[in-house]
Amino acid sequence: MSWIPTPISRFFHRTSSPPHFYALANRWLPWLTALFLLLLGAGLYGGLYLAPADYQQGDSYRIIYVHVPAAWMSLFIYVLMAVMGAIALVWRMKLAEVMLISSAPIGAGFTFIALVTGSLWGKPMWGTWWVWDARLTSELILLFLYLGVISLYGAIEDKKAAAKAVSILALVGVVNIPIIHYSVEWWNTLHQGPTVTKIDKPSIHVSMLVPLLLMALAFKVYYLIAVLQAAKLELVRREASSQWVKNLLETKL
C-alpha cells in the first residue's frame, strides 16, 4: 500500500524546507517581538509592583520572577533538543538538526541565569551562595550538558557527523531532566518544594502566581525569537551554496 501524504504531513514537509522556514521566521519575528515585550512588561509590573511582599521572605522573593521561569526554560529547551535529536536521527531532517544546535546556547543561557539567581536568593535564605543540594547539582550538570552539545558540535568539522553526535548526546542527557524535576521529592534537600502546581496548601497566592506565569510565557516567546534568529543564520551557513541563499543575498545587496 503506497503512502498517501496527509495535510499535516504536507505542512511539516513544507515547513521543514529551508527557504520556506526562513521566510516564515521573518514573518513571525516582528509579531513575536511585540508579544514578548507585552508579556515581559506585564509580568515585571505585576511581579515587582503589584504583587505583595512575602510574609516570610519580604521582597527578596521577587527574584522568582526571573529564577523560576529561567529554570523551567532550562528543562523545557533540553527536552525539545532531545525530541529534535530523535527526529534528526530517525528521519534525517535537516531543520531538526538546525533547531537542536540553535537551541543549545539559549538553553545554556537560561540554565546559567537559573543558577546565578538561585545563588543570589540562597545567600540571604540559606546563608551561603552554594550548597551541593540535589536540585542545584543536577541543574549544574544540565549546564555542562548544554556546553557539551555546543563544544561537540563545534569540534567536529563534518556537520552531518556533528549533528548525529549531538543528537545522541541530547538523547542520553535527557535522563537528567526527571532527576532535576523530582529531586526535591526523592531526596532530603534544602531547595523549596513545588508550590505552583499544588492545589492544596502551601501554594503560591494568585496575586503572585499570575505575574509568574506571565514571565514564564514571556521567556518562552523570547526563546522562539532567539531560536528562529539562530536557526536562520545556521541555515544560511549550511545552505551557502544553494540557489535560494544566493537569491537572498542578491536581494539584500
9 pLDDT above the threshold of 70: no
pLDDT of residue 39: 98
**For residues 34 and 32, what is the distance between their CA atoms, to the nearest angstrom?**
5
pLDDT digits (tens, 9 = 90+) for 176-208: 999 988 876 765 565 555 556 554 554 688 899
Q: Residue written as cell 529564577?
A: 67
Q: How far apart are CA 36 and CA 175, in angstroms?
A: 31
Higher pLDDT, 106 or 3: 106
Residues 6+ apart with CB under 8 A from 100: 81, 84, 85, 88, 149, 163, 166, 167, 170
pTM of the model: 0.89
**What is the band of 133 on the pLDDT scale with cuts at 50, 70, 90?**
confident
Domain locations along the chain: 29-252
d(CA 170, CA 88): 11
What are the tens digits of pLDDT across the range 160-169? 999 999 999 9
Mean pLDDT of 19-38: 96
Model confidence pLDDT, tens digit, residues 231-240: 999 999 988 8
